[in-house]
Structures are given as C-alpha cells and as structure tokens.
Amino acid sequence: MNYRRLSAAVATAGLLLAGCSAEKKPAPSAVPSTPAAPAPSSAASGGSAAAPGKVRLQEVGRVDQPTGMAVRKGDSALYVIEQQGRVRAIRDGRTVERPVLDIGGQISKGGERGLIGIAFSPDGRYLYLDATAPQGDVQVLEYRVAADGSVDAGSRRVVITQEHRENGNHNGGQLAFDEAGLLYIGIGDGGGAGDQHGNGQNLGTLLGKILRIDPRGGRPYKVPASNPFVSKAGARPEIWAYGLRNPWRFSFDSATGDLWIGDVGQNAYEEVDFQPAASKGGENYGWNAREGNHKFRSDAQVGVNPVLEYKLHEGNACSVIGGFVYRGEQLTNLTGRYLFADYCAGWVKALQLKNGKVTNQWRLLDGLDGITSFGQDSDGELYILTSDGAVSRLVGQ
C-alpha cells in the first residue's frame, strides 16, 4: 500500500487502506510473456456464463475502522477487527458493545499499521491475530477461546515475528486456515517503493511471501515437512509462495480448496493471482521482476502470471481488495464466481475462471466508500467492510 494516491483519504478516514499501491517507479506500497496460471479445479469455473443478477448491501453492524472479519465454528457471531486493536462481535444484527479483546495498548497504529488480520483455528479453540508490534514488526498472536466465544487475554502467545521497522507500509496481514488445519500468513515486501531490497524474489526472507505453518504442532510453531522449500539451502522453510508485493487479502475456495490472492500493485497494475488446490506450493508470482504481466525490474521470464490484472488510475482505481469465491445459497447466480474490489474506485466485481483464464467479468456494485475487506460466514454468504465502519451482507435486490 502507499499513500501517494491516497494521502487525502488516509487523512480523512484515519484508517488502514488495505494495501494501497505504491509510489512511482523508480521514485515516489513480468517481461516477455510468462507462463499462464495453472488450470483451476473444475468447480472454480462457476458453471454457466449467466449474468449474476442485481445485488445490494444490507448493513448488519457497525464498528470503528474495520480491517477484517472471521467466523468461528459453532458460533453465529461475526468477529470483526478494528485497526486500533479491538476485536468486536456482531450478533443477531447488533454490534456487542464490549469488545471481545482489546490489544490496542500492545501494538503500533496509524497508516498501514495496527490490527490487520484475524482467523480462528478450524476447531474454534484458538484465535489468531496479525498485528504490528510497537516497533513496527509484524506478529501473529494466538489466544485461547472458551466455548462461549470469550477470549482469554492472558493466554497471549507470539507465534511468529517478522522484523518490519524500516518502513510502515506493506505489512500484509491476511491469515487463513486450510482444511488440514495449517495456517497461511501473508507478509508484504517490507515497504518503501519498488521492493528496494529485492525481498520478493529472495527465499532467505519471509518478506514478500505467503507462509504455511502448523501453529500448534510445536513451539513456537512447526514447519510442515511438505512445504516446498524445506530442503532448499538458504531458503526459509516456512515459505509457501513468493514474489508478492503486498498480499493484503487472500482466501481459499471453500468448495475446491483453490487459493485466490489479491496482490496490490506498484504504480501501473493491480493483480489477482490463483493457485489450484492440487498445487504443492512454491509458486513465484513475479514481484519485483514484474508487475502484473509486465516488466518491472527484469527482462527474464519469471514465475506465474496473474489470472487478472487491471490498470491503476482508470476510474480512480488504486488498490485491489481480494475477496472470496461465492459458495452461499442466497445468490445462486454467483456460485463459483470470485468477488473482489478496489479501495478507491469503490466497485465490487465478480469474475468467472475457466481453464486458468478469466472468461467473464461482471460489475456488481459501485460507489462504495473505501472497501477495506471481505468476509465470509459459515453458510458461505459474503460481507463487505468499508472505511465508514459498516459491515454489510451481500444480498439480492
């Protein structure tokens, strides 16, 4: 994310802008044609090419500066994080006044720093938060959760820390569990502009990567033996995928296990990346050799092309907000389509993927005020979080 295009919005909204794109290159957070993304699972194609129909947003709650949402097994509440450090619960269309947890005094805040990621373990017994420590380092924290959803603040455990003090931007923030109970963590390239230290392509650092760990398998965590770089000399074994600039939001398709990544671009293109469920990991998504499908630093062929890119500036576009593949029951014409948004442009779109290529796109909503994140409940219904504090469900007209 960066503030060249969004400084006014930051000053007005006072919240994290979900990975806004960076400064002009080479000053003021790819190549000859590169390989196409692998083909998706068959269910990812979304069925027919029928238009998805009209949708609208139905507000279900309101919080302060929302940055992410998660749900917990066996619990009907929506858990929403606020950038300033609070975890809030929305139950039956009402925001519970008392926070579930408040770590505001233990983190750095402002700009792109703060409480920026949330996930629950598949069994619902542990809460995981991604936040920036007082000195700016990116940390993943673990807390025990009782059967009634209350969180034991005294059980705080630091699972992993990545030094991130030089620049305040490109912290990543996404946390997500797969069906095997492994935790995926997104970390940006270290910030500044242009990935000046080359972290995205450097397997010796966790910056510019998606990690995969078992947070309960060891202390502080266990690296799965099947991770792609476990046996590679000089590589960090936690790495699952690399070549990412600021993977602010990514998600798994709950029906297929495919992984969708919204990676915020530098100054020319935003991109959506795709990893099929059958992948063994190790994909290189190109940054900072390329931006989207285009050369940035290198003329060499590098990695896997995004399945979709779009130009910055056009229609006020500035920062991709990765969403989810719709798997709910209320909007059946959206089934199998991937939803994503742009923070500044204020639109929400759906795309259809077939044989690794986008075959259709639809514009679902326009004019939204600073979309910061999506959420998905246990029924597969989707939610949109906006910088004005609204948490809204996507419903039919």
The string of pLDDT tens digits covering residues 259-289 is 999 999 999 999 999 999 999 999 999 999 9
Q: Provide the domain count of the chain.
A: 1
Q: How would residue 302 be classed by pLDDT, with cut points 50, 70 and 90?
A: confident
The pLDDT value recorded for residue 50 is: 75
Q: Please tell me the predicted confidence (pLDDT) of residue 9.
A: 40
Please check whether residue 193 is in contact with residue 22, taking contact to mean a CB–CB distance below 8 angstroms: yes
pLDDT of residue 48: 58
Residues 43, 101: Cα–Cα separation, whole Å: 38
Buried b (16+ CB within 10 A) or exposed e, 85-102: bbbbbbeeeebeeebbbb
Task: Average the pLDDT over 22-47 and give the result.
Answer: 38
Residue 130 falls inside a structural domain: no
Of all residues in the chain, the percent with pLDDT exceeding 90 is 84
pLDDT tens per residue, range 119-171: 999 999 999 999 999 999 999 999 999 999 999 999 999 999 999 999 999 99
pLDDT attached to residue 301: 72
**Is 156 inside a domain boundary?**
no
pLDDT band at residue 51 under the 50/70/90 scheme: confident
The Cα 153–Cα 146 span in angstroms is: 11
Average pLDDT value over all residues in the chain: 89
With tokens 């450090």, the residue in question is 85
CATH number of the domain encompassing residue 189: 2.120.10.30
Mean pLDDT of 86-102: 97
Q: Check whether 54 has a pLDDT greater than 70.
A: yes
pTM above 0.85, yes or no: yes
Question: Residue 301 falls within a domain, yes or no?
Answer: yes
Residue 93 covered by a domain: no
- Within a domain: 97: no
Asked if the structure places residue 298 within a domain, the reply is yes
Within a domain: residue 2? no
Residue 86 lies in a domain: no
| Ranges 6-15, 69-78, 109-118, 165-174: which has the least confidence | 6-15
Note down the domain range covering 204. Answer: 7-60+166-176+185-396
* Lookup result for tokens 């995969």: 212
